[in-house]
Amino acid sequence: MSEPWTIARVARWATDDFCARGLDSPRLEAEVLLAHALGVPRINLFLELERPLSADELARYRALITRRRAREPVAYLIGEREFYGRSFRVDARVLVPRPDTEALVDVALRRTASRALYGRALDVCTGSGCVAVTIARERPTWRVTATELSADALDVARDNAHRLGAHTLALLEGDLFAPVAGRRFELVTANPPYIPDTEIDTLDADVRDFEPRLALSGGADGFQVTRRVIAEAGEVLAPRGVLALEIMAGTSAEVTERLRAARFEDVEVTRDHTGLERVVSGVWPG
Ligand SMILES: C[S@@+](CC[C@H](N)C(=O)[O-])C[C@H]1O[C@@H](n2cnc3c(N)ncnc32)[C@H](O)[C@@H]1O
Task: Read off the pLDDT of residues 144-178 as tens digits, 9 standing for 90 and up.
Answer: 999 999 999 999 999 999 999 998 899 999 999 99
Fold of the CATH domain 92-283: Rossmann fold (3.40.50)
Domain with CATH 3.40.50.150 in the chain: 92-283
CA separation for the pair 33, 207 (Å, rounded): 19
Q: Give the CA dihedral 4, 5, 7, 11, nearest 10 degrees.
A: 140
Residue span(s) of the chain under CATH 1.10.8.10 come to: 7-70
CA dist 172 and 28 (Å) reads: 37
What is the per-residue pLDDT across 51-60, written as a single tens digit (0 to 9) for each?
999 999 999 9
Alpha helices, H only, the chain: 7-20, 26-38, 55-69, 74-78, 102-111, 130-138, 151-163, 197-200, 205-208, 213-216, 224-233, 252-261
Residue 77 beta carbon below 6 angstroms from any ligand 1 atom = no
Question: What local confidence, expressed as pLDDT, does residue 117 receive?
Answer: 83
State in Å: Cα 267 to ligand 1 middle.
23
130 lines ligand 1 (CB under 6 A): yes
Our answer on whether the CB atom of 215 is closer than 6 Å to any ligand 1 atom is: yes
Shortest-distance atom of ligand 1 to CA 150: 25
In one letter, which amino acid is 248?
Answer: M
Q: Are 106 and 128 in contact (CB under 8 A)?
A: no
End-to-end CA distance of the chain: 78
What is the pLDDT, as a whole number, of residue 1? 61
CATH number of 7-70: 1.10.8.10
The C-alpha atoms of residue 271 and residue 194 are separated, in whole angstroms, by 17
